[in-house]
Amino acid sequence: MVKRIALIGCGIWGLKILKELVYLKASVDVFETDHSAENDIYEAGANRVFRGIPSNNNYDGIIIATPSETHRNILEQIIPLDIPVFLEKPLTTNLDDALALERLKPDNVYLMHIWLYHPGIQLLGEIGRNGTLGKVLGIRSTRANWTSPRKDTDSAWNLLPHDITIAKEIFGFIPKPKAATAEFHDGVIRGLIALLGNNPYAVFEVSNRYESKIREVRLHCEGGIALLADEKTDHVSIIYGDANSEHDSLKTEKKGFDNTPPLRLELKEFLDYLDGGPAPRSSFTDGVEVVNTIHKLVELSRNKL
């Protein structure tokens, strides 16, 4: 059965969501405040374009792709409709808003943590769990580029949700924040390096001050390293060798994976859920946990913990 979706927000990312929903045969009404975007929205396959937000339960599901700072206000109005919601990360950009929403006890709000659906990240998790490279020691990730189209928040709140959810996918939990140092420009975080946990550990670097785009995730194990070089590659590189191995003795293997776009995979999971399938893998509670972790890292970077 064709699912009726209300898409709130159709900017750069929302338009990509719309196109994937149309590809997946959903019927989409868009709620967008930018009048100038209307032609592009209709060309992408929307049925109708409205202002504001949905005020009735005529939809099977709602997807929210608005600026993060608007999430609390929109959810407070949407949750009473009792319609399943798929929300672009992060849940909020501060802990107070996340805790306020938690008091509403939403049981059908799910987070769009897109990297949970990346086949390369899923393969890294499989390598870690099956012992291919021995004991997992930790992960290191670098997520960087020059500036960002997201003007409503800083680099920490925009980029860290990806790395935190990757860590949970690979380890099964989020390691405890231990240390962080941030690069502030006029009081705004433009870069941050974070250390979480110990055994296993996670080291994250996020930045909007790199002249080239980097999306690298490395799984470090006793018997070698598994590397996802970027989000567009179709393989994970496995480097066999322990910490004492000579460079000339290292052996490398490439393991391919299905390169279906993660956005399509996560939207399909939501549509399948609306059709009676399992719930999306990232719950509201997961969203609060991610917000709480970022809050602690930012506080650490400000030397307040």
User: Quick one: how far is CA 152 from the chain centroid?
Assistant: 17
pLDDT at 16 over 90: yes
pLDDT at 73 over 70: yes
Same domain, 270 and 246: no
Cβ neighbours around 93 below 10 Å, total: 22
Same domain, 136 and 233: yes
Express as a percent the part of the chain with pLDDT over 70: 99
* Structural domain contains residue 294: no
Same domain, 60 and 172: no
pLDDT at 305 over 60: no
**Is the omega angle on the peptide bond into residue 90 within 30 degrees of 0, that is, cis?**
yes
pLDDT tens string 125-153: 999 999 999 999 999 999 999 987 777 78
Q: Are 188 and 208 in contact (CB under 8 A)?
A: no
Same domain, 163 and 278: no
Q: Are 197 and 138 in contact (CB under 8 A)?
A: yes
pLDDT at 304 over 90: no
**Is the omega angle on the peptide bond into residue 200 within 30 degrees of 0, that is, cis?**
yes
Sheet with strand 48-50: strands edge to edge: 48-50, 27-31, 4-8, 61-64, 85-88, 109-112
**Total count of domains within the chain:** 2
* Structural domain contains residue 47: yes
Same domain, 11 and 101: yes
End-to-end CA distance of the chain: 51
Per the prediction, the chain carries an average pLDDT of 95
CATH code for position 38: 3.40.50.720
pLDDT tens string 167-209: 999 999 999 999 999 999 998 999 999 999 999 999 999 999 9
Q: How far apart are CA 188 and CA 260, in angstroms?
A: 35
Predicted model pTM: 0.94
What's the helix, strand, coil split of the chain in %, to 5? 35, 30, 35
Contacts of 1 (CB under 8 A, 6+ apart): 275
Contacts of 47 (CB under 8 A, 6+ apart): 27, 28, 29
Q: Which residue range is the domain that position 176 belongs to? A: 116-259
User: Phi first, then psi: what are they for 5, rounded to 5°?
Assistant: -115, 135
Same domain, 253 and 132: yes
* Structural domain contains residue 300: no
Which of these ranges, 14-28, 30-44, 60-74, 277-291, has the smallest mean pLDDT?
A: 30-44
**Residue 35: pLDDT band by 50, 70, 90 thresholds?**
confident
The confidence score (pLDDT) of residue 1 equals 87
Same domain, 253 and 121: yes
Q: Are 205 and 179 in contact (CB under 8 A)?
A: no
CATH code for position 239: 3.30.360.10
Same domain, 132 and 227: yes
The confidence score (pLDDT) of residue 236 equals 98
Find the mean pLDDT for residues 49-72. 95
Find the mean pLDDT for residues 64-87. 97
Same domain, 252 and 275: no
Q: How far apart are CA 114 and CA 270, in angstroms?
A: 12
Q: How far apart are CA 109 and CA 64, in angstroms?
A: 10
Q: Are 53 and 77 in contact (CB under 8 A)?
A: yes
pLDDT at 42 over 80: yes
* Structural domain contains residue 69: yes
Same domain, 122 and 241: yes
pLDDT tens string 233-278: 999 999 999 999 999 999 999 999 998 999 999 999 999 999 999 9
Which of these ranges, 24-28, 35-39, 253-257, has the smallest mean pLDDT?
A: 35-39
**Angle at CA of residue 197, ends 194 and 202, nearest 5°:** 50
